[in-house]
A and B are shown apart, each in its own frame.
Chain A
Amino acid sequence: MDQRNFTYMFYGLAAVWAVLAIYVLTLVSRESRLSKQLNGLERMLSEKETRKG
């Protein structure tokens, strides 16, 4: 019982860190996707403006 008690306590603490880590990784990947989209759209708009000009 005592050994299981300790093991599950560490499962609980590990779960806290795992969920936080997964969320931080999600934020990082969203950040890079958004900045790629932003750069792509800005480039597309400036190309269109130079073509018009």
Chain B
Amino acid sequence: MREKILYALGLAGALLLLRNLYVILLQLPDESAQGAIYRIIFFHVPSWFTCFTGFFVAGVSSILYLVKKKPVYDTFAVATVEVGLVFTIIGLITGMIWARIIWGIWWTWDARLTWAFITCLIYAGYLMLRGAIDEATARARYAAVLCIFAFTSVVITFKAIEWWRTQHPGPVLSIRTRGGNMDPAMESMLYLNWLALMLISAVLTAVRMNQEGVLRQVEGLRRQVHASS
């Protein structure tokens, strides 16, 4: 039953993504100032929204782990962080490709980009920390604490374009500007692509959670083998 739901979610995400690609590439017009390259925004912004959502969920799950001590919350946190990190990398790469055309450079150390990079490093550090601790309970506890503190970096990254003057464009979406600087057709496509990426990330998270369960089994069996030898 669980597998069927996963297949259905994955199929829905893939079909929605294909439909969105058709609209993005063949129906929406070029942006007047940027030309065709602006279409990258339909993956760049939703990727960041997807990873921020994942990191938020991981933070909540980590708090729940520290309160309730149930391993399932730790499993959920590691799965959402790993999948979130994939979308962070997509966000960084797509942003750099857009910047190469619009700014003429791949990268600049402005507040938004720098904090985005720091966020990426912190969550990569979270995964490395997990790999460095053998004992499962200690690993889960230290990782949960780091995951909760790491979310401050997400908030700073999100708010950086309001707090500092950056080379990165300021807010354009109507939820942040309360008026909207973006064409409604383009903005709705952005949210639809976010939905598609969220569906795909849900499937990837479920697969990763399953693997974490198997990893715990392997660790348990390894202890049994050592104890019996």
Binary contact readout A1-18 vs B (1 if CB under 8 angstroms, 0 otherwise):
110111011011101100
Q: Give the bracket for the number of chain A residues in contact with chain B.
A: 20 to 34
Asked if residues A34 and B215 are in contact (CB atoms below 8 Å), the reply is yes
A19/B93 in contact, CB under 8 A: yes
Q: Is residue B98 within 8 Å, beta carbon to beta carbon, of the partner chain?
A: yes
**Does B148 interact with chain A (Cβ within 8 Å)?**
no
Q: Which of B90-147 contact A (CB under 8 A)?
A: 90, 93-94, 97-98, 100-101
Q: Quick one: which of B63-103 are within 8 Å of A by CB?
A: 83, 86, 89-90, 93-94, 97-98, 100-101
The answer to whether residues A19 and B90 also contact, given A12-B98, A31-B211, A45-B225 and a CB cut-off of 8 A, is yes
Q: How large is the interface on B (under 10, 10 to 19, 20 to 34, 35 or more residues)?
A: 35 or more
Contact in complex: A48, B229 (CB < 8 Å): yes
Q: Which residue of B lies closest to A4 (CB)?
A: B101
- For the residues of A in contact with B, the DSSP-based class is helix
For the complex, is A50 an interface residue (Cβ under 8 Å from B)?
no
A44 near B225 with CB under 8 A, answer yes
Among A6, A15, A30, residue most surrounded by chain B Cβ atoms (within 10 Å): A15
- A41-B36 CB under 8 A given contacts A15-B97, A20-B90, A34-B215: no
Q: Is there an interface contact between B204 and A27, defined as CB atoms closer than 8 Å?
A: yes
Known: A6-B37, A12-B43. 17 other contacts (CB 8 A): A1-B35, A5-B36, A8-B97, A8-B101, A9-B36, A12-B40, A12-B93, A15-B97, A19-B93, A23-B83, A27-B211, A31-B207, A34-B211, A38-B218, A41-B218, A42-B221, A44-B225
| Interfacial residues, chain A to chain B (CB-CB below 8 A) | 1-2, 4-6, 8-9, 11-13, 15-16, 19-20, 23-24, 27, 30-31, 34-35, 37-38, 41-42, 44-45, 48
The 10 A-B pairs of least Cβ separation, nearest first, read A41-B221, A12-B40, A12-B97, A5-B35, A15-B93, A34-B214, A23-B86, A5-B37, A9-B36, A12-B94
